[in-house]
Structure 1
Amino acid sequence: MIESPESHELLEVAPGYRTVLLDDGDGPPVVLLHGTPFDVRAWQPVVNTLVDSCRAIRFDLRGHGAAADTPVPDYGRLADDVVAVLNRLDLPDVHVIGHSWGGQIAQQVALDHPQRVNRLSLICTRASPFPAFAAAARGLRDGTADVEASLARWFAPDELAADAEPAATVRAWLHAADRSRWADALDMIATFDALAQLPRIAVPTDVVAAEHDGVAAPEHMDRIADALPDASFRVIASARHLAPLQRPDEVARTVLGAHP
């Protein structure tokens, strides 16, 4: 079980937005943006490797973890939050790493604040709409959503039957998640559309897909890589959507390619 950072002090990143901010390790700074409905804990297996070479910075995004009481706004505001964290830490530019919903926020940061990003890593994310998530959001709000269905997309049947790690931890996180905030994030993913803007992102970008990801499918992520001027594309064999939790060493090695 990955321990909760509940003992950490909450910091005000922006008016009305207080959150956990973790800053570990030494070296080139990287900012890690988690997916929904997760929080900073979802990056811990990757951070365990990164801290030997990098300064790993994480914070709970609005509506998630310690910031669950804060409404989830638009992508522009979420991108501004990343810049607010950089300003607080006196960092002019960083390597921004995003997984899933966090990968979409990472794209927005690179589009809105290009001078603050020196490298980008997009892991199991999308750059065009995924309308099916609008129905999933409605189910979360009206109480008809099946949390176990999400687990079935992310884990093999034998992993769920055994209730082993990380499936057991993820199951607990999903059942504890704020469903309203989760729904807000899924609505955003349902309509996110940045593919045509990606040629504006000039920094080197790692595009990392999971072979068995049914949402951020390798075919779609290959399109993302093709749209970016300076991108490398990799598919993690036999992996699923939660690659940072399920295959953290491989994700970390990809990220560390920029920070040997």
Structure 2
Amino acid sequence: MHYQTRGQGPDVVLVHGLFGDLDNLKSLAQALEANFRVTRIDVPNHGQSPHWEHMDYPRLAGALVSLLDSLDIAKAHLVGHSMGGKIVLATALLFPERVASVVAADIAPVAYPPRHQTVFNALTSLPLDGSVDRKGALTHMLAKGVDEGTAQFLLKSLRRVEATTGLGSDSNSETGTKVNQFAWRMNLDGLIAAYDELIGWPIEGKRYLGDTLFIRGDESDYVTAAHKEAILAQFPAVQLKSIGGAGHWLHAQKPAIFNRLVQNFLDSSGN
């Protein structure tokens, strides 16, 4: 997986959510780098990491452990938001000996109903042939029912690519016209194919006994009282914190509070 590492000290790995990349938790990384060695990753099918045809949490957990091996990290604190939270929870359950502690931001170890149909429709229907510029892309996303904050976040994955059009019948012809088009940095087809796996939760009958922190936004419905039993069943040594005035994007909406909660938890966990 593509990654960036900075800082010195015990290892912390930060894992972003669906449609994101390693910059999503950059504010947290900067807050931690004075006392920890922080690695931010691009999850497969996102950012600059490889595109996978098949994507599920056991395989993602294995890939995360393989990255730890390549960086010669015996054990790390894992922090993840949303889908990234499920990745770090899965890693803790499947490879507990490699996890010093785990933080899950606004996600629970449960299966969720589909809730990204509007986003997928907006992404797949956006013309990528260059007929729509970035401003037009934003207008398109808003017209498809995506709120502006989410649309701006999604469009960070839109990149310009150079294509050649107007080629003759000769496949070796270089007489075509080069035009600027767009492409998604994320593997959109791969994410659509894996979506049922990503909203599901396949890991049963396992427990992680290490220190665990769940942080939720009090305006979000991703972690509710109905999820308490499922959380305690697999993560009995758990703390639960709520951030007032925050929704699912709690790390971006209330970064100072979110960063402080994570740092205090990591400082109190065994290094």
Question: TM-score category by the smaller chain?
Answer: 0.7 to 0.9
Q: Which secondary structure state, in structure 2, belongs to the residue aligned with residue 66 of structure 1?
A: coil
Which amino acid letter does the alignment assign opposite residue 218 of structure 1?
A: T
Q: Show the counterpart of 1:235.
A: 242
Structure showing greater Rg:
2
Determine whether 1:173 maps to 2:156.
Answer: yes
CA 1:39–1:185: 2 relative to 1, 3 Å: farther
Aligned to 1:117, which of 91, 94, 99?
99
Q: Give the Cα–Cα distance (whole angstroms) in 2 for the partners of residues 97 and 150 of structure 1.
A: 31
Shift of 1:257: 1.6
Q: Give the Cα–Cα distance (whole angstroms) in 2 for the partners of residues 71 and 140 of structure 1.
A: 22
Aligned to 1:245, which of 236, 244, 252?
252
Q: Give the Cα–Cα distance (whole angstroms) in 2 for the partners of residues 259 and 197 of structure 1.
A: 27
Q: Which secondary structure state, in structure 1, belongs to the residue aligned with residue 38 of structure 2?
A: strand
Determine whether 1:203 maps to 2:185.
Answer: no
Identity among equivalent pairs (%): 23
Determine whether 1:76 maps to 2:58.
Answer: yes
Aligned to 2:42, which of 57, 60, 64?
60
What is the TM-score when the length of structure 2 is the normalising length?
Answer: 0.73
Q: Show the counterpart of 1:92.
A: 74
Q: Show the counterpart of 1:16.
A: none
CA 1:235–1:63: 2 relative to 1, 3 Å: same
CA 1:43–1:237: 2 relative to 1, 3 Å: same
Shift of 1:168: 7.3
In the TM superposition, 1:122-133 aligns within 5 A as 122-133=104-115
Q: Give the Cα–Cα distance (whole angstroms) in 2 for the partners of residues 231 and 150 of structure 1.
A: 37
Q: Give the Cα–Cα distance (whole angstroms) in 1 for the partners of residues 240 and 97 of structure 2.
A: 23
Instruction: Give yes or no for contact 1:127–1:224 (8 Å, CA) kept in 2.
Output: yes
Instruction: Give yes or no for contact 2:109–2:231 (8 Å, CA) kept in 1.
Output: no
Alignment coverage as a number of residue pairs: 226
Deviation per CA, 1:91-122, whole angstroms, max 9, x where unpaired?
Answer: 11111111100111111111111100110101
Q: Structure 2: where are the runs of 5+ without partners?
A: 127-139, 159-183
Q: Structure 1: where are the runs of 5+ without partners?
A: 1-18, 153-159, 161-165
Q: Give the Cα–Cα distance (whole angstroms) in 1 for the partners of residues 118 and 200 of structure 2.
A: 13
Which amino acid letter does the alignment assign opposite residue 258 of structure 1?
A: F
CA 1:70–1:189: 2 relative to 1, 3 Å: closer
Q: Give the Cα–Cα distance (whole angstroms) in 2 for the partners of residues 68 and 169 of structure 1.
A: 24
Aligned to 1:219, which of 225, 235, 247?
225
Q: Which secondary structure state, in structure 1, belongs to the residue aligned with residue 2 of structure 2?
A: strand
The root-mean-square deviation of aligned C-alpha atoms, in Å, is 2.8
What is the TM-score when the length of structure 1 is the normalising length?
Answer: 0.75
Deviation per CA, 1:107-159, whole angstroms, max 9, x where unpaired?
Answer: 11111111001101011113111122485687478649x8547854xxxxxxx
Q: Show the counterpart of 2:199.
A: 190
Instruction: Give yes or no for contact 1:134–1:190 (8 Å, CA) kept in 2.
Output: no
CA 1:134–1:43: 2 relative to 1, 3 Å: closer
Q: Which secondary structure state, in structure 2, belongs to the residue aligned with residue 67 of structure 1?
A: coil
CA 1:59–1:25: 2 relative to 1, 3 Å: same
Determine whether 1:50 maps to 2:56.
Answer: no
Q: Show the counterpart of 1:107.
A: 89
